[in-house]
Amino acid sequence: MKRITIAPRENWKDVTEKQGLIYNTLDDGSVYWDESAYYEFSSSEVDEIERVTYVLHQLYLDAAQHIIDNNLFDKLKIPSPVIQLIKDAWEKEPPALYGRMDLGYDGENIKLLEYNADTPTALVEASVIQWYWLQDRFPMYDQFNSLHDKLVAKWTDLKDYVDKTVYFAHLDNNEDFMTVAYIAETAKNAGLATKFILMSDIGWDEQNKYFVDLENNHMATIFKLYPYEWLIHETFAGGFVGSYKYTEWIEPVWKMLWSNKAILAILWELNPNHPNLLPTYLDAKKFDGNYVKKPIYSREGANIEIVRDEVVASTGGDYGEEGFVYQQLFELPEFDGNYPVLGSWMIDQDAGGMGIRESKSLITDNRSRFVPHLFK
C-alpha cells in the first residue's frame, strides 16, 4: 500500500457535487472528499483484503449464533423486548443489505477494528465518487469496487421477498439523505418502486397496528438509515416490536448483534489469537495499560479513548452509558501524518469493495477525509 500525492482535478468540487457528494466539504470549509492523494495497492494486497473480509464475515456469523445459543444478550445490553425479535429474525433470515468493516492495515497485518453493520455511510463516495474519479484520472487501472453492481444484484434477489414499494427512512441531513437516495437508486435499477420519508414523519396507525407513510399507506418494507439502539428506545418502540412481523425492516433487527461493539470481545473469546482480530475484552484490567476504549454503542468515532498508560487521545460525545469494550491498540500506518482506515464493504454475503478514510489522528471520526484508491 502506497500513498501518492497528486494535484486534485480543478473542478473536483463541482464534479463530485453533481455526482451526488453534496457533502464534499465539512462545515468549516475543509475537504471531506480528498483527492489530493490516493492509495495504490497491488492486486495481491486487494486479494488479501477481500479474503480477510470473507473470513471475518464468517466469524461474525458464528459469533451471532453463539450469542443466540447461549443467551448472551445481556453482554450486549440488548433490552429484553427485542430479544425474541432478534432470535426470530435470525432464524427467518429476512433481507439484509450491507455493512462496512473498518480494518487496520499496515501492509502486512489486517486487523478488524469494528463492523458498522446497521447504518454504515460513506457509501456514495466508495461506490460512485471514487469510481468516477478512477475513470477520470486512471482508467487504465482497477479499483476494489463493484458495490454498485452488487447492490443492484442484491435488490434484484430481494424482489420476491419485499413489498413492491420500498420506503427509505432517514433523518433530515445531506449525508443521510444522499446515502438513502443512492441506495434507493440501486433498488430502482432492480425494478423496485421507492419512496422517501423522514423518520419523524413515519406514522403509527393505532387502528391497524402498523406503520404508515404520509398518505397513511401501510409501509410493508422499510429501509432505515437509523440505528436500532435509538429506534428501540423511542415512542414508537412498542409499535415496532408489536408489528415487526408485518414489516420488513432493512437492515433486519438481528443486525443489533453485529453492530454492537461488545461482539468484538465475544469474537476474541471464540477465536483467541486469530490473525485478523485484536484482543478485545469487556474489562480494561486485561491489558497492561495500553488499549483503546470504545463505547459498545457509539457512532462516528465518538467517546473513544486511546490509552498508553494514560489517555493520549480522546473524542467527545454522549455515548458510554451502556458500557465499553477495551481493544488492543493497532498501530495504523502513518503516511506524512495521515492515518488510513480501510472500510471493506459487504453487500449481504459478498465482499463488494473498499473505501478509505484518513485522519490526522489515530481516531477515525466523522471529520476524517475520504481518499480514493486504485490497484494495479
Partner 1 sequence: MKNRKSKNIKLAGFFGIATLFLASCGNSEHYRHCVDKDGKVMPDSLCNCRDENNNYRPGYGMGMSPFMWYYAGRSFGYGQSVYGGGYSPSPGVSYSSPGVSRGGFGGSSEGSGGHGGSGGSAGE
Q: Of 362, 321, 320, nearest to 340 (Cα)? A: 362
299 scored as a contact of partner 1 (CB under 8 A): yes
Among the listed residues 1, 15, 20, 257, the single contact to partner 1 using CB under 8 A: 20
- Residues contacting partner 1: total by CB under 8 A: 87
Answer whether the bond into residue 251 is a cis peptide, omega within 30°.
yes
Interacting positions 217-236 with partner 1 (CB under 8 A): 217-218, 225-227, 230-231, 233-236
- Backbone phi and psi for residue 55, each to the nearest 5 degrees, phi listed first: -60, -50
- What single DSSP character describes residue 34? -
Among the listed residues 45, 88, 269, 300, the single contact to partner 1 using CB under 8 A: 300
Integer Cα distance of 230 and 225 in angstroms: 11
Provide, rounded to whole angstroms, the least separation between the CB of residue 282 and partner 1: 21
Among the listed residues 42, 173, 290, 349, the single contact to partner 1 using CB under 8 A: 173
Integer Cα distance of 269 and 242 in angstroms: 34
Each residue 121-160 as x (binds partner 1 by CB under 8 A) or -, in order, gives xx----xx--xx-x-------xxxxxxxx-----------
Residue 345 · residue 99 · CB < 8 Å: yes
37 scored as a contact of partner 1 (CB under 8 A): no
Each residue 259-298 as x (binds partner 1 by CB under 8 A) or -, in order, gives ----------------------------------------
Among the listed residues 12, 32, 60, 345, the single contact to partner 1 using CB under 8 A: 32
* The C-alpha cell that represents 33 in the structure block: 472528499
176 scored as a contact of partner 1 (CB under 8 A): yes
Integer Cα distance of 256 and 237 in angstroms: 15
339 scored as a contact of partner 1 (CB under 8 A): no
Integer Cα distance of 193 and 180 in angstroms: 14
Among the listed residues 8, 9, 17, 269, the single contact to partner 1 using CB under 8 A: 17
Integer Cα distance of 140 and 98 in angstroms: 29
Integer Cα distance of 257 and 68 in angstroms: 9
> Strand 350-359 relative to strand 339-347: parallel, antiparallel, unpaired?
antiparallel
Provide, rounded to whole angstroms, the least separation between the CB of residue 279 and partner 1: 23
3-state SS class at 31 = strand
Among the listed residues 8, 9, 13, 22, the single contact to partner 1 using CB under 8 A: 22
Each residue 51-90 as x (binds partner 1 by CB under 8 A) or -, in order, gives ----------------------------------------
* The C-alpha cell that represents 11 in the structure block: 473542478
Provide, rounded to whole angstroms, the least separation between the CB of residue 177 and partner 1: 6
Count the Cβ atoms, other than its own, within 10 Å of residue 33.
Answer: 24
92 scored as a contact of partner 1 (CB under 8 A): no
Sole window of 59-67, 119-127, 265-273, 303-311 interacting with partner 1 (rule: CB under 8 A): 119-127
